[in-house]
Amino acid sequence: MYCLVSDLQRLLPEKVTIGDTNIGVPVPGRESADRSNFTTAESKQFIQYSQEYIDGILRPIYVTPLRQTKAFETVITADVLAGSSVTVTVRDARVFSVGEVVRLQNSGDMETAEITDVSDTVTFTVDTVVGNYYTANSDQVSILEFPDPIKVTTARFAVSFMLDKLWAAEQEPDVSNYGKSQRNMGRDAIESILAGEIKLFGQEHTGRRFIRGSLIDAYGTPNFDFQKNADNE
């Protein structure tokens, strides 16, 4: 998936929740907990819908689905041992962020983990590590990511789809203005990619038969006769 459920939670309004709470648990003196608006499985399906929408638009230019690439790599400066909530020490942790996927690797094995906390300028914490990695072997940790701004664009489309469903069932009118604005910002990013303002580094272009796509001076979509407009709806 191009983004995580946690990315959706950061963009959704405070009262729209993702989880598995079916009924409120009464607590004396406090209001009961609300039922979650969407389950985690439903949220992942909306991410998939968003990914399909983006892939369909970008397919004339880029090979889709897009692939994660190594954005940054450095050696570990303290041994990393298997376990949960494992601390990883590097020379400079300021380039790492919460929610990013990192790859730990040595001469024979590699695995991925998600960053749960960035403690200071040299350490960060990942959720789970299966293997052991040692400084003596110059083992490495790297950031794996989809090219910017695919993650946030996917999250914006998914949030807009979720809010449209929620508002259609519970609100009047049946379209959320916040969802509409998220969709417009997502379309603006996609149009910037189509217009060449944003390049998706590390991705393969769809070229011509028997010709490497990189040998062609410019890439074109079937139709560039559009005007960028942040307020599409």
Mean of pLDDT values over 202-213: 70
Q: Please indicate, yes or no, whether residues 96 and 128 belong to a single structural domain of this protein.
A: yes
Is residue 74 in some structural domain?
yes
Q: When comparing pLDDT for 169 and 114, which is higher?
A: 114
Task: Answer whether residue 220 shows pLDDT above 60.
Answer: no
61-83: pLDDT as tens digits: 899 999 999 999 999 999 999 99
pLDDT at position 226 is 52
pLDDT at position 89 is 96
Q: What would the two tokens of residue 154 be? A: 């996917």
User: Where does a domain end: 145, 165, 191?
Assistant: 145
Predicted confidence band of residue 196 (pLDDT cuts 50, 70, 90): confident
Task: Answer whether residue 159 shows pLDDT above 50.
Answer: yes
Q: When comparing pLDDT for 210 and 55, which is higher?
A: 55
Is residue 229 in some structural domain?
no
* Domain coverage including residue 39: 5-66+148-215
Residue 64 amino acid letter? T
For tokens 């409120």, the residue is: 24
Q: Please indicate, yes or no, whether residues 108 and 9 belong to a single structural domain of this protein.
A: no
Mean of pLDDT values over 187-197: 91
* Mean pLDDT for all residues in the chain: 85
Task: Answer whether residue 210 shows pLDDT above 60.
Answer: no
Is residue 231 in some structural domain?
no
User: Given its phi and psi angles, is residue 138 left (phi above 0), alpha (psi -120 to 50 degrees) or beta?
Assistant: left
Please measure the distance between the N-terminal and C-terminal CA atoms of the chain and give it in whole angstroms.
27
Q: Please indicate, yes or no, whether residues 92 and 121 belong to a single structural domain of this protein.
A: yes
Q: What pairs with residue 141 in β-bridges?
A: 74, 104
Task: Answer whether residue 221 shows pLDDT above 60.
Answer: no
Task: Answer whether residue 225 shows pLDDT above 90.
Answer: no
User: Where does a domain end: 145, 173, 192?
Assistant: 145
Predicted confidence band of residue 37 (pLDDT cuts 50, 70, 90): confident
Is residue 19 in some structural domain?
yes
Gap between the Cα atoms of 112 and 48, Å rounded: 21
84-136: pLDDT as tens digits: 999 999 999 999 999 899 999 999 899 999 999 998 999 999 999 999 999 99
Q: Please indicate, yes or no, whether residues 208 and 193 belong to a single structural domain of this protein.
A: yes
pLDDT at position 32 is 47
**Would you call the peptide bond into 147 cis, given omega within 30 degrees of 0 as the criterion?**
no
Q: Please indicate, yes or no, whether residues 57 and 166 belong to a single structural domain of this protein.
A: yes
Q: Could you give the residue ranges of the DSSP H alpha helices within 78-198?
A: 150-170, 177-194
pLDDT at position 103 is 96
Q: Please indicate, yes or no, whether residues 156 and 139 belong to a single structural domain of this protein.
A: no
Is residue 202 in some structural domain?
yes
0.75 exceeded by pTM: yes
pLDDT at position 162 is 92
